[in-house]
Amino acid sequence: MTKTLKKINGGKSTGIQDIYCFNYNFKSWNLLVIFMSIELVGHRGLALNHIENTIGSFEDAFNKGANAIELDIQLTSDKVPIVYHDFDLKRLLRMDGKVSDFPLGELRKLDLGNSDKIPTLDEVIYKFTDKKIYVELKTIDDDGKRYNRELPEIIFERYKKIPENIVFISFDPESLIEMRRKFEKVVLGLDYEKNSEKWIELNEIEEFLLKNRIEYLIPSVEILGDFMNLDGKIKILPWVVNDLKVVEKFFKNIYGVISDRCDLIYKQLKNYNL
């Protein structure tokens, strides 16, 4: 039995998505097994023992196999970027009012459960300096209403230079354009789902991404098949993927997956043969 290892793509590295081909020759048969290493992103961390979008959920995601996390930010009434998904407080805190109605001090007093608190963006960045973080700018809702319009400006005022491990993403094309204007080297990504055609048409996406140097496209997994012919420079990262079978036929076209259950996806990846 002989075993050879070679890297596809002419020996050139494709970054995180390196493809290796193991060619096993044994007697009269030849078995070709391709293993793909794809980026595994914890969607709001891993919300099993901790509440979503908390330090505990992010730590659990990294401990269970994720090599990146995705989180959401918006502004408090005193203009501090905090990590919280919903615009209102009903679902997680059973309270009336919007996040933007309260100052940071009041929000920090609230217990999400399991002693989890709402973190600031600063806390997450300084806690996970060596980990990749996708930061979603919550500047538009499902109906197209604009929120947190000052968010790109406030990020610019607070950071000036964005850490290399941070990728800013948004459903809002205007926020991404503004981030590109303010930061020459920031890495950006466009979130996209069925309703997103209100803001940018499907057939305009490739031109928009390339023109504004937006590196990532982050489509909902239901429409992933619509993006298989994009320019190879664009990294495709579908959400939410909780079973690799859902994206099996797209493995060679995607950069990674965003998952609510990175623990389960990690186990699948360890044993997956293509």
Residues 203 and 264 in one domain: yes
Please check the confidence at residue 28 and state whether its pLDDT lies above 50.
Answer: no
Condensed to tens digits (0 to 9), the pLDDT of residues 84-115 reads: 999 999 999 999 999 999 999 999 999 999 89
Condensed to tens digits (0 to 9), the pLDDT of residues 142-201 reads: 778 888 999 999 999 999 889 999 999 999 999 999 999 999 999 999 999 999 998 999
> What separation in angstroms does the CA of 196 have from each of 142, 173, 250?
8, 10, 22
Residues 173 and 75 in one domain: yes
CATH number at residue 231: 3.20.20.190
Residues 22 and 49 in one domain: no
Q: What is the mean pLDDT of the chain?
A: 87
Please check the confidence at residue 29 and state whether its pLDDT lies above 90.
Answer: no
Q: Are residues 213 and 234 in contact, defined by beta-carbon separation less than 8 angstroms?
A: no
Confidence band of 75 (pLDDT split at 50, 70, 90): very high
* The pLDDT value given to residue 16: 38
Q: Are residues 74 and 138 in contact, defined by beta-carbon separation less than 8 angstroms?
A: yes
Residues 177 and 53 in one domain: yes
Residues 54 and 106 in one domain: yes
Residues 169 and 216 in one domain: yes
Please check the confidence at residue 3 and state whether its pLDDT lies above 50.
Answer: no
Confidence band of 141 (pLDDT split at 50, 70, 90): confident
> pLDDT over 90 for what percent of the chain?
78
Please check the confidence at residue 8 and state whether its pLDDT lies above 50.
Answer: no
- Residue 35: phi and psi, rounded to 5, are -105, 130
Contacts 24+ apart (CB under 8 A), 212-215: 212/176, 212/177, 212/180, 212/188, 213/180, 213/188, 214/176, 214/180, 214/188, 214/189, 214/190, 215/167, 215/187, 215/188, 215/189
Residues 137 and 246 in one domain: yes
* Torsion sign (Cα): 86, 145, 74, 261: positive
Residues 18 and 103 in one domain: no
Residues 26 and 134 in one domain: no
Please check the confidence at residue 9 and state whether its pLDDT lies above 60.
Answer: no
* The pLDDT value given to residue 47: 95
Torsion from C-alpha of 33, 38, 43, 48, nearest 10 degrees: 50
Residues 164 and 263 in one domain: yes
What's the structural domain count of the chain? 2
- Residue 129: phi and psi, rounded to 5, are -65, -25
Condensed to tens digits (0 to 9), the pLDDT of residues 209-236 reads: 999 999 999 999 999 999 999 999 999 9
Residues 254 and 145 in one domain: yes
CB-based burial, 158-195: b 16+ in 10 Å, e otherwise? ebeebeeebbbbbbbbebbbbbbebbeebbbbbbbeee
Residues 145 and 258 in one domain: yes
Please check the confidence at residue 35 and state whether its pLDDT lies above 60.
Answer: no
Condensed to tens digits (0 to 9), the pLDDT of residues 246-267 reads: 999 999 899 999 999 999 999 9
Range of the domain at 86: 39-271
Rounded to 5 degrees, what angle do the CA atoms 149, 154, 155 make? Answer: 110
